[in-house]
Amino acid sequence: MKGDPALTVPNDRQCAEFWQRFDMLENVAAHSLEVARVATFLAQRAHELGMDVDVPTVRASALLHDIAKTYCILHGGNHSQLGGAWVADFTENPAIATGVTHHVYWPFEMDIAKYFTPLAVIYADKRVRHDRLVTLQSRFDDLIKRYGVNEYIRGRIEITMAQAIDLENALCETLEVDLNACTFDSGRLV
């Protein structure tokens, strides 16, 4: 959905200032930049196809998706929920905040046209391990290895992986591009 002209959308420099304000770790910032690169590609492609997508909103949401990661590493808590609340407060832009709040798991219908921003951020986040573009399988293998300490958590990761695969298929179809053969650099294929 196109951005509401009454709502402000922070640019890259402003997002980096928010990172500093919330003491974002350098590795988390590097991850966020790569996630933003992928999400921006998706948004630009959607826009090229005539979809009602605001590219700067998608990019800002991706840049800010892990804004609360450092805090939650140090103090505990749910980084997506806390980050979404922080972003809603300091941007006053619910579209950006929704992408942050829901970048781990999408609890609603997977309607690409209706919910492009959060779905693009979810997908982009699932394609980036640390600061590198990887396949969904590689990303989820890493998540299982690092966080799958018990059957419940492994089950949640598997549910999230199934959703990511469904999302990838829907994005490939909607955007008319094979995302597994894409470098996310101006549409060039590998």
| Residues 6 or more apart in contact with residue 103 via CB below 8 angstroms | 65, 66, 80, 118, 121, 122, 125
Alpha-carbon Rg for the chain, nearest whole angstrom, is 16
CB-based contacts of 139: which residues, under 8 Å, 6+ apart? 126, 127, 128, 129
- Copy the structure tokens of residue 5: 């002209």
The closest alpha carbon to 68, from 107, 94, 35, 101, belongs to 101
91 neighbors 44 (Cβ within 8 angstroms): no
Asked if 41 contacts 185 with a C-beta cutoff of 8 angstroms, the reply is yes
Assigned superfamily of 12-181: Hypothetical protein af1432 (1.10.3210.10)
Q: What is the pLDDT along the chain (190 residues), one digit of tens a residue?
A: 455 667 899 999 999 999 999 999 999 999 999 999 999 999 999 999 999 999 999 999 999 999 999 999 999 999 999 999 999 999 999 999 999 999 999 999 999 999 999 999 999 999 999 999 999 999 999 999 999 999 999 999 999 999 999 999 999 999 999 999 888 875 444 3
Whole-structure pTM value? 0.93
